[in-house]
Amino acid sequence: MVGSWLFLLIFLQGLETSFTLNVSCLIVNLDFVNCSWTEQGITEENSTFFHNSFNVQSEHMVECSTYLYEKGCTVGCRLPYKSSDRFRTLRTKLVYQNQSYMQNHTLVNMVKLFPPANLSVEMKTNLELNLYWNNSKNTFCTENEVHYRINNNKWKASKPCSEQTYSIPFPSKNSRYEFQVRARISSVCGESKFWSEWSQIIIWDSVKGSNSTDTSDISMPLWKPLLSFVSVTVLLMFACMLVYWERERLRFIFIPIVPNPGKNLKDLFDSDNGEAWLHISKDVCFQPNFNERACPVREYTQVPKSGSITSTLLATGENEKAGIV
């Protein structure tokens, strides 16, 4: 028993010592630095964050002045940034539950730009469809990638380039073009690991014959899920009706409806066509549909001249009782 408790205690201490909070820092659009420590999940208690302000020669560290919060707990810190800080080392210290976690960060390739903005499309007289956009930072250190597709086909990607324009020669008539752009710091200035998010999609529809962009058609595909739902519902109802009809047809074939002989015989008895029943046997009994009053029948005999009337009447009464008519 004691050995089990010791093993459990050593195991829990090992888990506690192996738990570390990792701080990751990212330069956002060359404007500021975001450092966060929630890769293992949101901590239950607030943490205290210190940094050296990119001053490698100084050992002095200052506390974060702008914390980032999520669900009431500190999850990050926002630091000011200067252009020269990208090539310096950032030293950080995170204090959580009386434990300190020290790290050094090299941020040369840890840059993420904002997506390009102000996209526009123009059809030139030399039959070229030109796309233009603006980057948020210096174009000399920025490379761009263009995605485009024609008539909702698969997206095609261009090679990264430093220009803020892209051309499609001899665009097809009666076609619809969609464009989006993303950017990052190029290898000329220290290539970044991160691309920006994709820009908003811009559409050029040659059917309209206009030289201006049109973004109103972006929401057109929203009706497609509704149409698909209605189509599937109608098909299911039609399939259920077919199954029901087929089941009724099979039931009629394998289990035919047996007529009621008593009802049909009664209908034939009640009909006025008596000739149709001449072939029926006399043994068949049925209930007639009329009433007739029975009339008694008697046979009278002459009274002989000889003999009494009384004896003659008595003889006649005895014959009636015996069933002689």
The CATH number for 78's domain is 2.60.40.10
Co-location of 122 and 211 in the same domain: yes
Tens of pLDDT along 252-289?
Answer: 565 656 555 555 555 555 555 555 555 555 555 555 55
- 283 found inside a domain: no
Range of the domain at 176: 113-215
Tokens 């093993």 belong to 7
Co-location of 120 and 194 in the same domain: yes
Q: What tokens appear for 255 in the block? A: 């289990």
| pLDDT for res 239 | 86
User: Are 95 and 143 a contacting pair, CB within 8 Å?
Assistant: no
Distance CA 22, CA 193 (A): 19
Co-location of 103 and 123 in the same domain: no
pTM of the predicted model as reported, rounded to 2 decimal places: 0.58
Which runs of E-coded beta strand occur in the chain? 24-28, 32-36, 48-51, 62-63, 67-70, 73-80, 89-96, 99-106, 111-112, 117-123, 128-134, 142-150, 156-157, 165-169, 176-185, 202-205
| pLDDT for res 211 | 43
Co-location of 191 and 206 in the same domain: yes
- 189 found inside a domain: yes
- 294 found inside a domain: no
- 175 found inside a domain: yes
Tokens 């009329």 belong to 290
| Strands of the sheet with 73-80, listed across from one edge | 67-70, 73-80, 32-36, 24-28, 111-112
- 289 found inside a domain: no
Co-location of 137 and 209 in the same domain: yes
- Total of domains in the chain: 2
Residues of the chain where predicted confidence (pLDDT) is lower than 50: 2-3, 5-7, 9-12, 14-18, 210-220, 322-325
Co-location of 97 and 127 in the same domain: no
- 68 found inside a domain: yes
Tens of pLDDT along 175-230?
Answer: 899 999 999 999 988 899 999 999 999 998 866 654 444 444 444 455 567 778 88
Co-location of 89 and 130 in the same domain: no
Q: What tokens appear for 108 in the block? A: 């040369």
Co-location of 123 and 197 in the same domain: yes
| pLDDT for res 94 | 92
User: Are 102 and 145 a contacting pair, CB within 8 Å?
Assistant: no
| pLDDT for res 220 | 46
| The last residue of a domain, from among 57, 90, 108 | 108
